[in-house]
Amino acid sequence: MRKQTIILITVTALIAILAFRPVIDNDCNCDKVATEKIIKSKDFNKLPQFYDTLTDDGFYSLSAADNRTLWYRDIESPEETKFTNLWNDYAPNNYHAAHLDYIKNYEGKDDIELAFQFGPNSDLWAYHTFVIKKTDCCYLATRTYFRHARFTRKSYAIMDKSQLDSLFSVINEQPVLPPDTTETFDYCGYFCDNRNKKKFYINFEESSILTPVPNQPDTTFKQQVPRPEINRLYDFVDRKIKWIQTYSL
């Protein structure tokens, strides 16, 4: 009888503990309003050693290494910086976009979930650059257009995890290749995927397919068009991400 009573008390106590145990939510919920306040703060993403003392003239006296540091900081900044309009194709130490350096710069960075770059295209050797950075419980996505070694457009978006997961799903459909050891000048997309610890590229030109030219009676005439999965990638980065443009030259 005594043994049975002890068991009963123990079970009752366990039920009471479970009933009053606080529910712990381990999910990090994306608050886009709060994240917007973070990225709009005056000191967000600044490098004090440059911003506090460097003049426009001094910008062109920087070493190539310091100029590169500022370039990468600029493409991670959602809005125009103090130096955005100073890059050009003429100052010797001004940075020029390069695929291999891009993935080298972002590989292994814990706060950068994904970084990728498309280019160069026929619009004066232009590159689209994208950086997706964990910011609070959301992801700050920045997009820049770097044309003829000048920034001509900047925009940003705030994404939640489900949106980013959808982007990764589209990327996983792609015909990817391991990075070349030499720079490729076809129109390509180079990716640094730190979530999955991978780096790879897509040769958009070689991944195109030949189809008949619309409204052309002679079907022997063909045109190159992107494969369907690549069109889905283009569509996602252009339309599914709700970009807010902040700079245009």
**pLDDT tens digits, one per residue of 144-171:** 999 999 999 999 999 999 999 999 999 9
Angstrom distance (rounded) from CA 165 to CA 185: 29
Kindly indicate the confidence band of residue 235, based on its pLDDT and cuts at 50, 70 and 90: very high
Residue 217, pLDDT score: 79
Percent of the chain with pLDDT over 70: 89
- The pTM assigned to this predicted structure is 0.85
Residue 15, pLDDT score: 37
Q: What is the mean pLDDT of the chain?
A: 88
Residue 21, pLDDT score: 35
Residue 27, pLDDT score: 66
Averaged pLDDT, 85-97:
96
Residue 12, pLDDT score: 41
pLDDT at 221 exceeding the cut of 50: yes
